[in-house]
Amino acid sequence: MNLLHRRFFLRLAAGAVVLPLLSRIASALDYPMRPVRIVVGFPVGNASDIIGRLIAQALSARLGQQFIVENRPGAAGNNAAEFVARADADGYTLLMEVVTANAINAALYAKLGFDFVRDIAPVATIATGPYIMVVHPAVPATTLAEFVAYAKANPGKINMASAGTGTGTHVVGELFKMMAGVDLLHVPYRGSFLTDLLSGQVQVVFGPTSQLIEYIRAGKLRALAVTSATRWAALPDIPSVAEVVPGYEASAWYGIGAPKGTPATIIAKLNQDINIALADPTIKARLADLGDTVLTSSPADFKKLIAEDIDKWAKVIKAANIKPE
């Protein structure tokens, strides 16, 4: 090959490498060019659904394309996660992550059709908040200390509802049972437990603040404690579980994920736009009304948070001998 031909060949080869890269960069700069789905693994009205719709509305306004929430409940959020894991890695199908639930699933299920850590790329965190321990007003306990005493005097007679075996609402409750030394009867639901909780058929639940706070304010449920390590700024009059059960802590984290292989440029763009949206005082106020606080991060920081939660809940699952349904 003479020198002229060699130079021509090298230019062609360089172009073959650069053109796809430029194409990916251009697609990220133009993104989104059509509606984007945010897949939620829980029913309408669940905390993740409420927060997912809030961020979808903000992104729609900011980016000029519709971000549409699609609910795919079932299997404690695994149905939605697997659907997104198998979706095209083009940024048009995203996962509304409940880090606690997804971290629990990663530790609980030995055989899934996907690997949450490997197959879902962290994009951005949205918010964090404690779970809140509530009881039906008929329960003869107005403080957490009174509830612990009542539960110890009535082992196995108090029904603890959850959104299903192995969900955050279950495992957070199991951590409380172990650390407080009480025997509560776990009653898992495949959908919402709210109807039975409000009617008194089940007496206690550890639920997301965003899902329960309006019922507390209306006097339909009694809040006994929040699960954060200290009192929550949004609910300063409600004590933390740790004030009665030292060392107890559990928080819910919400964020956005994407299929593995989604271009880094699109992930970076989404991260930037989500963080900008979360700086809006209106969004902050709305999340505060739900009992949550804005949490911004880089994709790398989000990845670290997920790894830490998986490690924590794996230990609880093993100690409580929780098995998947």
* pLDDT tens-place values along the chain, 325 residues long: 555 555 555 555 555 554 444 444 545 678 999 999 999 998 888 888 999 999 999 999 999 999 999 999 888 788 999 999 999 999 999 999 988 888 898 888 878 889 999 999 999 999 998 999 999 999 999 999 999 999 999 999 999 999 888 888 999 999 999 999 999 999 999 778 999 999 999 999 999 887 898 899 899 999 999 999 899 887 889 999 999 999 999 998 999 999 999 999 999 999 999 999 999 999 999 998 887 889 999 999 999 999 999 999 999 999 999 988 7
277's tokens: 């949206």
Same topology between domain 31-129+251-320 and domain 130-243: yes
| Domain ranges across the chain | 31-129+251-320, 130-243
Residue type at position 137: P
Q: Provide the CATH number for the domain formed by 31-129+251-320 in this structure.
A: 3.40.190.150
In the chain, which ranges are E strands? 36-40, 67-71, 93-98, 120-135, 159-162, 185-188, 204-208, 222-226, 251-259, 293-294
**For residue 1, what pLDDT is reported?**
54
| Residue 258 burial (CB count, 10 A) | 26
pLDDT of residue 16: 53
Cβ distance 169 to 206 under 8 Å?
yes
* pLDDT for the residue numbered 21: 47
The pTM is what? 0.79
**Token code pair at residue 231:** 């009192």
For position 2, what pLDDT does the model report? 58
| 92 and 36 Cβ atoms separated by less than 8 Å | yes
Residue 101: its pLDDT value, please? 83
DSSP type of residue 263: -
Query: Are 283 and 160 spatial neighbours (Cβ–Cβ below 8 Å)?
Result: no
Contacts of 79-84 with C-beta under 8 Å, sequence gap 24+, read: 79/41, 80/39, 80/40, 80/41, 80/42, 81/41, 81/105, 81/114, 81/116, 81/120, 82/112, 82/113, 82/114, 83/39, 84/39, 84/120, 84/257, 84/258, 84/259
**CATH architecture for the domain at 130-243:** 3-Layer(aba) Sandwich (3.40)
Distance CA 195, CA 201 (A): 9
Distances (CA, A) of 135 to 48, 53, 221: 22, 28, 6
In terms of Cβ atoms closer than 10 Å to its own Cβ (0-12, 13-18, 19+), residue 171 is: buried
- Taking a C-beta distance cutoff of 8 angstroms, is the pair 68, 56 a contact? yes
- Greatest C-alpha distance within the chain: 93
